[in-house]
A = this chain, B = another copy of it.
Amino acid sequence: MSKKIVIIGGVAGGASTAARLRRLDETSEIIMFERGSYISYANCGLPYHIGNVIKERDSLLVTTPEAMSKKYNVDVRIDSEVISIDKENKKVQIKKVKTGETYEESYDTLVISTGSSPLKPPIEGINSPGIFTLWTVPDTDEIKKFISERQPKNAVVIGGGFIGLEVAENLHAAGLEVTVAEAMDQVMAPVDYEMAQLVQNNMVANKVNLILGDGVSKFKSENGKVTITLASGRTLEADMVILSIGVRPNGQLAKDAGLEMNQRGAIVVDKYLKTSDSNIYALGDVIEVEEYINKGRAMIALAGPANKQGRICANNIYGANEEYKGTQGTSVAKVFDVTVASTGTNEKTLIKMGMTEGKDYLTAIISQKSHAGYYPEASEMILKLVFSADGKKIFGAQIVGEDGVDKRIDTIATTIRLGGSIYDLKELELAYAPPYSSAKDPVNMLGFVAENIIQNKVKLSKWNDINPEVKNDVTILDIREEAELMVLEIPNSVNIPLGQLRKRLNELNKDDKIIVFCAVGVRSYNAARTLMENGFKNVTVYPAGTNFYKQVY
């Protein structure tokens, strides 16, 4: 069953496809074209090399062309850009990047894994010196060289997505003063506004200057300084700028070849990763995928999906008919001291889709410890779950905390993948010993709380349901102990410690709107149950208590 297979792109998707193809068949001829000089490198590690967290440049090069060709008998051609595809005659045209020379190569099957590139919108001055993007090994080399030669004191990172924030952390680690400027009103678009506050607070605590809601309108480079003018008119000056405002698929080649594309320039594939041409497969950042939760179409640039698609693509080239079932967008990033992770759809997306809380979806925000509180070094995390009003569908989850965040997002991502409900979250039997979790894991707790919400056993207020500045028609009932109030007092609140509540119910009015507060949300939930069972009609619990309140106010 020997075939001639040509692969365009030699990193995550391309190299994974090549490796699996070879394992499936020794006899096929596999040619892999890469326009850069490096294949199979760790894109995701690049930011950490800038901060010297990953010290050895070589460790970023997972495989070299020589090793790849020896190990997998793949004809690896670096510095070779595929400049056109002739799908009728099953040929590609290649340009040798270093000499400009071109030549043709035929194929039986073509695989396109050309990835994506950083967005560079036509902003005035965007190509000025001192402005970088970080996407490839040479990009990294250039940034590192600039830092070591020019000794910049400060940097502005444009864009607060996960790559922007990783870069910010690593420039900070390299000793620069860092500003992050983001056009939206929050960093980390995959999480909702209130969850992003936790990340932002930690950045600020680490001395990052954070500018939100203010995009770039122009750049100017002069005397080794870049002046950035923001939409508001505000100007910033920096020794260097890293642009990280999003990606666009490298789809032009496919488009020119007449393959079916979506409106944003990504290749359309069927569930077998086949393009509109039956001899051409495509995968990775350059394709449009099915978004797993709502079954819409999406472009999601992540390494996990690209690598897994590589295996499926290779299998299908050898006749497997294996489906790629869509991308959930499970992701995680380390941002200074916190880990932020999410899977599935967030609340703001549901709202954009026209959905209404209470009717179409519900949310739960809780605070939980990374492991048993009595075992050393337990830290708090805040978890948000977005689910359907009947609890049968989990739309998504977001978690921010210092430890154990990746584990909890993975168990929820697994539950979502297998079609599990919030009732399944309750029942998950997760591993418990004091150093690792609690007898009821935070994910179980999300299930319990979600169920309580559905069954009207508790109602959580929205994080911004109170205005601490003014005394309004809400009774804020703080049921913490007096000693706890010294650390943080909620303005205009009434304090009745939980242990006294049953005896002091007469101090409260059954018809008032009451928001109950504690440190975590657990005691206030117990207080709310007591109030509700005693005929109080309008009781809500402030989600995740002062742990959350102090972060969002």
Contact = CB atoms under 8 A, between A and B. Distances in A.
B534 A429 contact: no
Interface in A492-527: 498-500, 502, 523, 525-526
A440 B307 CA distance: 7
A306 interface: yes
A19 B448 CA distance: 14
A332 B529 contact: no
Interface stretch (A142-150, A253-261, A417-425): A417-425
Contacts of A329: 429
A12 B305 CA distance: 42
Given A334-B433, A429-B343, A530 B67 contact: no
Contacts of A53: 375-376
Nearest to A327: B429
Nearest to A409: B431
Which of A22, A24, A305, A427 is most buried by chain B, counting CB atoms within 10 A of its CB? Answer: A427
A553 interface: no
A247 to B, nearest CB: 16
Interface residues of A, number: 92
18 contacts: A19-B526, A26-B530, A42-B372, A44-B372, A44-B433, A45-B372, A53-B376, A71-B499, A306-B439, A307-B440, A308-B440, A327-B429, A329-B429, A330-B430, A331-B431, A414-B414, A414-B428, A417-B427
B45 A375 contact: yes
Contacts of A388: none
A304 B499 contact: no
Contacts of A426: 308
Contact of A427 (B54, B60, B325, B429): B325
B413 A410 contact: no
A135 interface: no
Contacts of A25: 533
Nearest to A323: B427
Contacts of A414: 411, 414-415, 418, 420, 428, 430
A23 interface: yes
A488 interface: no
B410 A71 contact: no
Nearest to A56: B374
A303 interface: yes
Given A19-B526, A22-B529, A26-B533, 19 more contacts: A23-B525, A42-B374, A44-B439, A48-B375, A54-B434, A72-B526, A302-B432, A303-B432, A304-B429, A304-B432, A305-B429, A308-B440, A311-B448, A339-B436, A343-B431, A413-B429, A414-B430, A417-B424, A417-B429
A124 B502 CA distance: 55
Interface of A: 12, 19, 22-27, 42, 44-45, 48, 53-54, 59-60, 62, 67, 70-73, 162, 166, 292, 302-308, 311, 325, 327-334, 339, 341, 343, 372-376, 406-407, 409-411, 413-415, 417-420, 424, 426-437, 439-441, 444, 448, 457, 498-500, 502, 523, 525-526, 529-530, 533-534
A494 to B, nearest CB: 19
Contacts of A523: 71
A103 to B, nearest CB: 27
B534 A26 contact: yes
A289 B72 CA distance: 51
Copies in the complex: 2
A479 to B, nearest CB: 10
A374 B428 contact: no
B406 A428 contact: no
B434 A330 contact: no
A405 to B, nearest CB: 9
A426 B303 CA distance: 15
A374 B437 contact: no
A499 B73 CA distance: 9
A502 B406 contact: no
A50 to B, nearest CB: 13
Given A407-B407, A410-B410, A429 B328 contact: yes
Contacts of A417: 424, 427-429
A526 to B, nearest CB: 6
Nearest to A531: B26
A352 to B, nearest CB: 22
A42 B375 CA distance: 10
A331 B436 CA distance: 10
Contact of A60 (B45, B67, B374, B502): B374
